[in-house]
């Protein structure tokens, strides 16, 4: 099932905050600029930004822009980690068991050779 566009945009923004592309205390691109960059509707970008604002990760300053709040990176990282471990990892672990793959296989230099 395909994710809604605003959720995909949210993932892009979250990853950019986590990896430092959008640093804490700095401004995010405007809704219009980010929409143009992503080929998305500005209303869809506004919905993604609104989620971050509702979660206390960004602050909208009227007439100035949208700033990433202090602590946003760590909070996002923790939330993304929980999401991965609770929602994604169980399916990955089950597939690994089915294929007899263990952690050592993932770190072996020839793990991806045919």
pLDDT in tens, the chain (114 residues): 688 898 999 999 999 999 999 999 999 999 999 999 999 999 999 999 999 999 999 999 988 999 999 999 999 999 999 999 999 999 999 999 999 999 888 888 666 665
* Predicted local distance difference test score (pLDDT) of residue 109: 64
Tokens read off for 61: 């300053």
Domain contains 113: no
Q: What is the Cβ-side half-sphere exposure of residue 94, based on CA atoms within 13 angstroms? A: 7
* Predicted local distance difference test score (pLDDT) of residue 108: 80
**Boundaries of domain holding 54:** 5-68
Q: Are 16 and 22 in contact (CB under 8 A)?
A: yes
Q: What pTM does this model have? A: 0.80
Domain contains 112: no
Q: What is the domain count for the chain?
A: 2
């Amino acid at each position: 099932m395909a994710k809604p566009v605003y959720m995909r945009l949210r993932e892009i923004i979250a990853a950019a905050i986590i990896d430092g592309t959008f640093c804490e205390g700095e401004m995010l691109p405007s809704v219009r600029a980010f929409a143009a960059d992503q080929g998305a509707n500005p209303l869809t970008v506004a919905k993604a930004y609104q989620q971050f604002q509702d979660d206390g990760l960004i602050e909208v300053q009227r007439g100035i822009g949208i700033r990433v709040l202090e602590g946003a990176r760590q909070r996002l990282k923790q939330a993304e980690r929980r999401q991965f471990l609770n929602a994604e990892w169980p399916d990955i672990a089950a597939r690994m068991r089915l294929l007899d793959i263990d952690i050592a296989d993932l770190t072996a230099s020839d793990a991806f050779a045919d």
